[in-house]
Amino acid sequence: MEEFTKLIHKYLRHDKKFPHVWCPGCGIGIMLGALIRAIDRIGYEKDEVVLVSGIGCSGRLPVYVDFNTLHTTHGRALTFATGIKLAKPGLKVIVVMGDGDAVAIGGNHFIHAARRNIDLTAIILNNSVYGMTGGQYSPTTPFGMRSTTTMYTNIEHAFKISELAVTAGAAFVGRGTVYHAKLLDGLMEKAFLKQGFSVVEVIAHCHTQYGKLNRLGGPVEMLQWQRDHAVTVESAARMKPEEMEDKFLIGVLADRDLPVYTEQYERIRQRAKAGQGKDA
């Protein structure tokens, strides 16, 4: 507990007006805790960390923590982060988004940031719903579920965010849940240390909107669902396909060394200065 108090004092803003905006029982706090613990373990200076967010519940996260923080427009967090990283590559730029943010309005930015392999970490809180605006369906709302805009049930199919990131070319992709907090700590640390575009998808619950509309219970029941349906990559390797049908993978889904944009661009600068390569 003493450790926690130290972290709270070190990383939470003293001059920010609390309480925070999140509902009691929300998983965002667990995600924020994992993020702070990973940063603390790696030992980044607070001045070198930039925390960027989009819009929605996750968008409100940076304001509480004592880094360089930027709360951008809906879906555009990665674009702002790209500008920051390219203009000042020495900064550690972490982007926090929701599922609507990252793969609906910002879906294009997401796949292109992954494709470029910009050295950013994207943390995506996936709670399957637009929480802040009142429970409308998102691109990760499962087929057949209810939301305030799919009251007759959802007939669209959900994006698998991590698999999308792997396909789009991210260097590191990990998925965790807010139930598996220890795993999340480790995934965040790995993602921050990875050179290139790293993604951590955090499966979370929104009992206030999604849970209520689909009669999934409160935060406890929804956390239990995460416990019962998440399977680590290691365990899955020993399981039959039919056993995996209603399960999802957690752990490291991709970890590969690819040319990193900022390093490649520095080479372009050197070639440009030497007068090489433009006509070749």
Partner 1 sequence: MKKRNVNEVLLQGNEAVAEGALRAGCRFFAGYPITPATEIAEIMSVKLPRLDGTFIQMEDEIASLGAVIGASLTGTKSMTATSGPGFSLMQENLGFACIAEVPCVLVNVMRGGPSTGLPTYPAQGDVMQARWGTHGDHPMIALCASTVRECFDLTIKAFNLSERFRNPVILLLDEVVAHMREKVTLPEEGLVEIFDRVKPKVPPEWYIPYEDTPAGVPPMASFGEGYRYHVTGLTHDVRGFPTSRPDEIGPFIARLFRKISQRFPEIQMGEVDQVDGADITVIAYGSVARSAKRAVRDARERGIKAGFVKLTTIWPFMKSVVEPVLKTSKVVLVPEMNMGQISREVKRVNQGYTRVVTLNKVDGTIITPEEILDRIIEVA
Establish if 84 lies at the interface with partner 1 (CB under 8 A).
Answer: yes
Which of 176, 194, 193 is closest to 256 using CA atoms? 194
The single residue among 5, 234, 273, 280 that binds partner 1, judged by CB under 8 A, is 273
Residue type, 276: Q
Task: Give the list of residues 6+ apart from residue 96 with CB closer than 8 angstroms, or none.
Answer: 35, 51, 52, 53, 54, 58, 59, 61, 62, 77, 123, 125
Which of 74, 52, 48 is closest to 61 using CA atoms? 52
The Cα 241–Cα 248 span in angstroms is: 12
- Minimum Å gap between C-beta 275 and partner 1 is 8
Q: Which of residues 148-177 bind partner 1 (CB under 8 A)?
A: none
167: number of CA atoms within 13 Å, CB side?
A: 6
Question: How many residues belong to the site for partner 1 (CB under 8 A)?
Answer: 42
Quick one: DSSP state of residue 47? G
In the complex with partner 1, which residue's Cβ is closer, 47 or 257? 47
Count of CB atoms within 10 A of residue 45's CB?
9
- Minimum Å gap between C-beta 239 and partner 1 is 38
Establish if 192 lies at the interface with partner 1 (CB under 8 A).
Answer: no
Establish if 88 lies at the interface with partner 1 (CB under 8 A).
Answer: yes
Task: Record the tokens describing residue 164, joined without a space.
Answer: 């999308």
The single residue among 10, 41, 83, 243 that binds partner 1, judged by CB under 8 A, is 83
Q: Strand pairing partners for 198?
A: 121, 172
Interacting span for partner 1 (CB under 8 A) from 43-51, 126-134, 171-179, 213-221:
43-51
The Cα 202–Cα 261 span in angstroms is: 25
The single residue among 79, 147, 150, 162 that binds partner 1, judged by CB under 8 A, is 79
- Minimum Å gap between C-beta 180 and partner 1 is 30
- Minimum Å gap between C-beta 7 and partner 1 is 16
Window 99-138: contact mask with partner 1 (x via CB under 8 A) = ---------xx--x--------------------------
- Minimum Å gap between C-beta 162 and partner 1 is 21
